[in-house]
């Protein structure tokens, strides 16, 4: 239970990160954060029972510089919402695919890399989507929005109480 994810909000209710419930309880006990939502159960100490938070808000404003997202597997999957960009299947078992294969001069950029299920990646192989007679669900590009933090897409299905605090 102490390893459940907890959404951490800035003082202005802006999503900052996701931490473990153990860390969130420590922040609340120290007075560095307040619990906005609970629902994960309780943790029992020697002298008291403490509810495990699901969403906390920091007591002080954290200023973070806005920076560009790095091109990583994690960010590509989040941008594509864990969906194969060829068949539209949602899955956690995805691979990265270069729309224009690298051996043909395709670059490793936001505009050329998409999520693909294993079956579609094998079917496309080293060809372009037109040559493989496959269409992209949507054209790839840099992640939308200038937000510093995007909650991993797979958390949204598990944590309904987070939705009202996240950017739509």
The answer to whether the CB of 119 falls within 8 A of the CB of 149 is no
pLDDT band at 146, cuts 50/70/90? low
Greater pLDDT, 148 or 20: 20
Average pLDDT, whole number, for the chain? 87
Find the domain containing 13 and state its range.
5-65
Give the C-alpha separation, 15 to 166, whole Å. 7
For residue 99, the domain's CATH number is 1.10.30.50
Same domain? 12 vs 53: yes
Same domain? 52 vs 91: no
Strands 5-9 and 49-58 turn out to be: parallel
Residue 132 lies in a domain: no
Same domain? 39 vs 85: no
In tens, the pLDDT along 75-84 reads 999 899 999 9
pLDDT at site 131: 95
The answer to whether the CB of 8 falls within 8 A of the CB of 141 is no
Same domain? 9 vs 60: yes
Write down which residue in 25, 49, 65 finishes a domain.
65
Same domain? 85 vs 117: yes
């Amino acid at each position: 239970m102490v390893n459940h994810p907890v959404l951490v909000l800035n003082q202005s209710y802006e999503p900052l990160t996701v931490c473990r419930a153990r860390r969130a309880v420590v922040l609340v006990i120290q007075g560095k954060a307040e619990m906005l939502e609970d629902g994960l159960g309780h943790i029992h100490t020697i002298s008291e029972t403490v509810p495990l938070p699901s969403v906390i808000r920091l007591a002080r404003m954290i200023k973070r510089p806005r920076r560009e997202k790095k091109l990583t597997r994690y960010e590509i999957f989040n941008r594509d919402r864990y969906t194969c960009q060829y068949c539209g299947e949602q899955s956690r078992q995805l691979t990265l695919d270069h729309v224009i294969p690298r051996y043909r001069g395709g670059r490793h950029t936001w505009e050329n890399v998409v999520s693909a299920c294993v079956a579609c990646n094998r079917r496309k192989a080293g060809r372009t989507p037109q040559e493989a007679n496959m269409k992209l669900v949507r054209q790839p590009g840099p992640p939308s929005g200038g937000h510093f933090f995007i909650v991993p897409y797979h958390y949204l299905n598990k944590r309904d109480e987070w939705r009202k605090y996240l950017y739509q």
